[in-house]
Chains A and B, each alone.
Chain A
Amino acid sequence: MNDMLIGAIVTASLIAALFFLRFWRSTGDRFFLFFSLAFASDAVNRLLLGAATVDSDDMPAYYIIRLLGYGLILFAIYDKNRPRS
């Protein structure tokens, strides 16, 4: 059951990443590129967690990838809203 859910989450994240990549290509707005990278990193994070043995000691380290992905989203929002000179 859990493996199936992980597979679905990884697929959904990758699809979202690909859509954002397409928006980036069609608009040239790097806001979408950051979103694409964030969802791709989320997919990688879930894939690694799914492949890892449950409750291994280095588990928290995998979540740094997730944290970096969220950081990309925050940076994208900051980048979009900062005043242009």
Chain B
Amino acid sequence: MAAIIYALCAITSMLCSWLLLRGYRRNGYRLLFWSGLCFVGLSVNNILLILDRIVFPTSVDLLTWRLVAALIALLPLLYGLIWEE
């Protein structure tokens, strides 16, 4: 069950980043670019989650790296929200 939920989180976040960046390529709306970039980082976060919990459940602890990825993901979005609009 856990593996399915984690996998779905990773797949949907990757799908979000692809659709947002594709939207940006089509209409040039820059907020889509910053949102897409955010979801690229959140995808990394979710892939690390799978590695941490499912692939290497006992041998490694990636919690800090997962959190760093999530925080770095949000920073370009905040930049875009503050400066672009």
Contacts and interface: CB of A to CB of B under 8 A. Distances in A.
A48 interface: no
Contact of A46 (B1, B5, B70, B81): B70
B9 A66 contact: yes
Interface of B: 1-2, 5-6, 8-9, 12-13, 15-16, 19-20, 23, 35, 38-39, 63-64, 67-68, 70-71, 74-75, 77-78, 81-82, 85
Contacts of A59: 2
Instruction: Please report whether the interface of chain A is mostly helix, strand, loop or mixed according to DSSP.
Output: helix
Contact of B9 (A15, A67, A81): A67
Contacts of B68: 5
A85 B9 CA distance: 32
B70 A2 contact: no
Contacts, number: 68
Contacts of A24: none
Contacts of A70: 9, 12-13, 15-16
Number of chain A interface residues as a range: 20 to 34
Contact of A1 (B9, B39, B64): B64
Contact of A71 (B2, B5, B12, B81): B12
